[in-house]
Amino acid sequence: MPNFPWLTTIILFPIAASLLIPVIPDKEGKTVRWFALIVGLIDFALIVAAFYTGYDFSNPDLQLVESYSWIPQIDLKWSVGVDGLSMPLIILTGFITTLAALAAWPVTFKPRLFYFLLLAMYGGQIAVFAVQDMLLFFLVWELELIPVYLLLAIWGGKKRHYAATKFILYTAGGSLFILLGSLTMAFYGDNITFDMSSLALKDYALNLQLLLYAGFLIAYAVKLPIIPLHTWLPDAHGEATAPVHMLLAGILLKMGGYALIRMNAQMLPDAHAYFAPVLVILGVVNIIYAALTSFAQRNLKRKIAYSSISHMGFVTIGMASFTDLGLSGAVLQMVSHGLIGASLFFLVGATYDRTHTLMLDEMGGVGKRMKKIFAMFTTCSMASLALPGMSGFVAELMVFVGFATSDAYNPTFKVIVVLLMAVGVILTPIYLLSMLREIFYGQENDELVSHQALIDAEPREVFIIACLLVPIIGIGFYPKLLTQVYDATTVQLTQRLRDSVPTLTAEKAIQHVSVNTPVIAQ
């Protein structure tokens, strides 16, 4: 069915289905949760069907393109399409959201509203990765703010209102830069258009590119997140429930990385050459600072949240490497961390449901009573610390080698960055293994054991973790399983970044910013 509107159907189906939830006869929420799970499975099946019937690995350009006129006076269209950057993340979104619906099984407080928000968010997140119109991108980017805010504010912990308000202020504030940048690009030049492909072809002045790049960087740095615009994330994770954790870690953070590659690198390649060293430095700061901060956390959720921030630093370094391998590693890291982060936060939620505490000082010895959770938590932690045979190892290794072999930076700068990345990799197993020891080993907390039933994992929980571990291990042993999906696109993009501006090489860009960043001066 070459003319079937795959992407429009995939985006609108869960949103339309969510509108049926208020009329479903259901007193206890059991019917609603099955309805949401079935809708998630159907939409994920549609994503897989679109991938196998309409996506060509060897084609680096947009595929499954659909375009319908909306406001012709300003060339605003419902325009969607996928390429190697977006297809893996759309598959990840369908996979994680469907599992999140299953993870939300214990939700009994206002289940109709919960699953309504979950399904509405499903379609909005897929739209972020599929739309090819800048104004439409801004609209769907904003669409997910309200569901996340309500999911935090209604079902969160004791400080849920503070965390939800901080989330909305940070992300909405960053979104203003997207709107202003989109309008500037659309009205620049002789023709008014919001089409991304057309915008990428406009001949922007270099100073304007730099200004647009800086604005977009602020907006997407909030979502990635990049230090110092990261502080909303530990608070949000600290108050969220397990399924919301999975959506935050598995999908929302990837929206920032995707947008940086799509908007900043692909549409503003001249400015990217100037900002690339800055991205590398910010990535190193993310890796080291967040790892050290995670090591000091005594709250389990905040410890994993800072771990997520640390791992996302590899994404910014990979996209600034100017190598095929580095950019490929950045995309792989986004998918890998989506799977690993979702699994860890789900297990944090499962542990909290049993112990009713997040403080490591109050745990200890629970591995004797929860052997399945102990085994799953250990396996997922090994994936997070980049154990060989897991997807995290492959992704981080690709970024390491890709940056180390880049000819865009002088050898001294590369050595410093690689050594600092290595320090971050060393810190990761220290705080993760220490976390496992404090939760599962040692002497049991008598008060905890006497007041709580520390039952082991139920089949539903084992199934969710098994579903996440299959691709984590599969990609770890056979990375081509994923890299073949996007290689054509990343190779084309890297070539454009290296060749788009003959008079401005990355080496000159480094010299240009050396006044503000003397550590990388020639």
pLDDT confidence of 448, banded at 50, 70, 90?
A: low
C-alpha dihedral over 314, 315, 321, 327, to 10 degrees? 130
Burial class (CB in 10 A: 0-12, 13-18, 19+), 450: exposed
* Pairing verdict, β 63-71 and 76-82: antiparallel
| 244/234 Cα distance (integer angstroms) | 13
Q: How far is CA 417 from the centre of its chain?
A: 23
The DSSP output letter for 115 is: H
- Tens digit of each residue's pLDDT (9 = 90 or more) over 286-315: 999 999 999 889 999 999 999 999 999 999
CB atoms within 10 A of CB 426: 11
Burial class (CB in 10 A: 0-12, 13-18, 19+), 23: exposed
| 350/181 Cα distance (integer angstroms) | 42
- Tens digit of each residue's pLDDT (9 = 90 or more) over 119-134: 999 999 999 999 999 9
Contacts of 494 (CB under 8 A, 6+ apart): 322, 323, 324, 327
Q: Is the pLDDT of residue 501 over 80?
A: no
Contacts of 187 (CB under 8 A, 6+ apart): none
**Amino acid 502: pLDDT:** 42
**Amino acid 507: pLDDT:** 45
Q: Is the pLDDT of residue 460 over 90?
A: yes
Closest CA to 59 of 83, 27, 94, 81: 83
- Tens digit of each residue's pLDDT (9 = 90 or more) over 25-77: 877 778 899 999 999 999 999 999 999 998 998 899 899 999 888 877 767 78
**Amino acid 516: pLDDT:** 38
- Tens digit of each residue's pLDDT (9 = 90 or more) over 155-197: 988 899 999 999 999 998 999 999 999 999 999 888 888 889 8
Rg (CA), the chain: 22
Q: What percent of the chain has pLDDT over 70?
A: 93
Strand partners, 82: 63
The Cα angle at residue 487 between residues 486 and 490, in degrees rounded to 5: 85
- Tens digit of each residue's pLDDT (9 = 90 or more) over 217-244: 999 999 989 988 999 999 998 889 999 9
**Amino acid 360: pLDDT:** 87
C-alpha dihedral over 223, 207, 328, 42, to 10 degrees? 50
Q: Is the pLDDT of residue 513 over 50?
A: no
pTM above 0.75, yes or no: yes
**Amino acid 156: pLDDT:** 86
The DSSP output letter for 521 is: -
pLDDT confidence of 512, banded at 50, 70, 90?
A: very low
**Amino acid 500: pLDDT:** 60
**Amino acid 452: pLDDT:** 58
* Size of the chain in residues: 522
Q: How far is CA 349 from the centre of its chain?
A: 19
Q: What is the residue-averaged pLDDT of the chain?
A: 88
The DSSP output letter for 79 is: E
| 463/475 Cα distance (integer angstroms) | 19
Q: Is the pLDDT of residue 519 over 50?
A: no
Residue 124 token pair: 């909005």
pLDDT confidence of 247, banded at 50, 70, 90?
A: very high
